[in-house]
Chain A
């Protein structure tokens, strides 16, 4: 009961803080950058060469960066960006990485020494734990950016694919029929 209460209060407090941050921290910027940012996957991994999605969005908006530098977004994001900006879509620039299936970080709790370095690296505060205490990743909030991997001194963080359970399973597209193969 107490735990529920505490968690409930925590939830409210964080909710208020987030709400406050949203208002206080609203970036009154360029509406184009805002719309570009809406399209980006918010993984915050920095693979595009900018320290997060918003800076990349701003760079695209002023024409400093190209639209094909975000590997987590992949083709779908490039297409949406091309659509928004009225330019031709182009393949992902492989210098920045390749598109891969989303994975989440998992800390091997046996090995974790509680150094807090990963917590400092996580761009979305998805890792919880105090100094010298084992840390855990909140799977729901992990964006899969991999930024917590390099700082870990004991290499105890792995990227694991998300488990599909029945609630998240979806019907696959039908197998293409030989008769429907596109004629080349």
Chain B
């Protein structure tokens, strides 16, 4: 039976995907570096909070940072060694800025912290406990954006029909998921059962682009061997960006995820195949996320995939593959479409690093940007956009600073796939305009909120001053009253005194009269 597939509009079919170069050799572990630099923030959401201090000895797999909120992830020591620094280091980010990191010097022993396997009992665990296990393992989406995985495994009240394992790997040059599917197909299939248990999903669809026949065969083999219920490997047409979440869901189900909604709202959850593999290792072997597979390709003598400890500097990987990091024109983290150029050679590999693409100036498909020319209104960008946006209009309003109009044209639905950019004959840096516009809109929103806060606080202050004034006035009033009372009290006392005085006078007078009456009459005159 052949499954009916749906094709999304737009997209790009490249002439050469440059996938062959890096899939010729089996994956090996990269050598242990002298220093591992682990940024606390390697994923979408909030960064972790360090649990260690310089000088601490750590074991492999020991937690070194904890998640601080719901959308956050812990971090673990990738090998045993000593923490030498907790502080700012340069991190791989388009900004080139520094951020808090934990630096570990490995001791070369690779001694594990205690691990606990749940291979046998995970099916009896309730989904929430299972999710917690995956959260504690620090697993985030390994396909690119790096959303903490356990969040996606919580469907809330939404019933989940389908789990989609994303093995499309649609961007040129990147082959790490391809190799993982070839070499660890069983682990991925077992991982999918764990996820399905957490979600209560009915079926699993494993989507792989049809330019990866070996991976498709390996995954089909694993499905046959392990015979999980309702699991199907689906070969999808090779068309960038088929691996975009919304594009893949549409291809497989014909359903569109609403613009402001999540896949789970239409009963679908997507997980990348490498993430699924990591979930398998966490549950079956009690191994947190410590390393990942990634592709080193482009201008290196031996393009290949490596198993790399998180925190390993990129330049050592390039040298291991026979490249010269100092002589590169650019080192791109990620693929040619969605990746970004690194600002230094020795930045560390993080959880979301799927590819190190070396541009040594001799790669025909990595030509740098050409001069942008004015837009000729050819409409090629709109034809290429997989989200059916109008990139030309978006560009126009973004460069004019009319960000409200950008929003009217659904700027925030743009997935920054770069298709419009790629086809634009005028070489306009369209995606950068969209990123810039998004940033400006966020900034304005932040400023608006701050102004709102300032207004409230200012009004509260005025209110407070007013109240204090009233209170002071009231106090004065009170004092006056008290004073008045006192004076009146004094008056009373005088009156009393006077009364006493008067009484005394009267008594005196009386006495005087009595004495006069008792004396002989000749002295009286009354």
- How far, in angstroms, from A111 to B458 measured CA to CA in the complex? 27
A173 CB-CB contact with B under 8 Å = yes
Q: How far is the CB of A99 from chain B (nearest CB, A)?
A: 14
Would you give the 0/1 interface string for A113-153, flagging 1 where the beta carbon is closer than 8 Å to chain B?
00000000001111000000000000001010000000000
Chain A residues positioned under 8 Å from B455 (CB to CB): 37, 42, 53
Q: Contacts A21-B459, A166-B93, A171-B436 given: A124-B371 contact, CB under 8 Å?
A: no
Chain B residues positioned under 8 Å from A178 (CB to CB): 371
- How far, in angstroms, from A144 to B110 measured CA to CA in the complex? 51
Identify A171's interface contact among B94, B97, B450, CB under 8 A.
B94
Chain B residues positioned under 8 Å from A124 (CB to CB): 454, 457-458, 461
User: How many inter-chain residue pairs (CB < 8 Å) link A and B?
Assistant: 96
Interface size on A, residues (CB 8 A): 34
Main secondary structure of the interface of A (DSSP, over half): loop
Inter-chain contact A180/B459, CB cutoff 8 Å: no
Chain A residues positioned under 8 Å from B458 (CB to CB): 42, 44, 52-53, 123-124
- How far, in angstroms, from A52 to B462 measured CA to CA in the complex? 11
Most A C-beta atoms less than 10 A away, residue of B372, B429, B436, B457: B457
Q: Contacts A44-B454, A166-B97, A166-B99 given: A171-B432 contact, CB under 8 Å?
A: yes
Chain B residues positioned under 8 Å from A170 (CB to CB): 435-436, 439-440, 442-443
- How far, in angstroms, from A141 to B432 measured CA to CA in the complex? 32
Inter-chain contact A17/B41, CB cutoff 8 Å: no
Identify A169's interface contact among B97, B433, B456, B463, CB under 8 A.
B97
Chain A residues positioned under 8 Å from B436 (CB to CB): 170-174
Q: Across the two chains, which residue of chain B brings its CB closest to A171?
A: B435
Identify B371's interface contact among A24, A41, A177, CB under 8 A.
A177
Inter-chain contact B373/A143, CB cutoff 8 Å: no
A6 CB-CB contact with B under 8 Å = no
Would you give the 0/1 interface string for A1-32, flagging 1 where the beta carbon is closer than 8 Å to chain B?
00000000000000001100110110100000
Q: Across the two chains, which residue of chain B brings its CB closest to A126?
A: B457
Pull 29 A–B residue pairs with CB atoms less than 8 Å apart, ordered by A: A18-B456, A18-B457, A18-B460, A22-B456, A22-B460, A25-B460, A25-B463, A40-B451, A42-B451, A42-B452, A42-B454, A42-B455, A53-B458, A123-B458, A125-B461, A125-B464, A141-B453, A141-B454, A164-B95, A165-B97, A165-B99, A166-B93, A166-B95, A169-B93, A170-B436, A171-B436, A173-B399, A174-B372, A179-B372
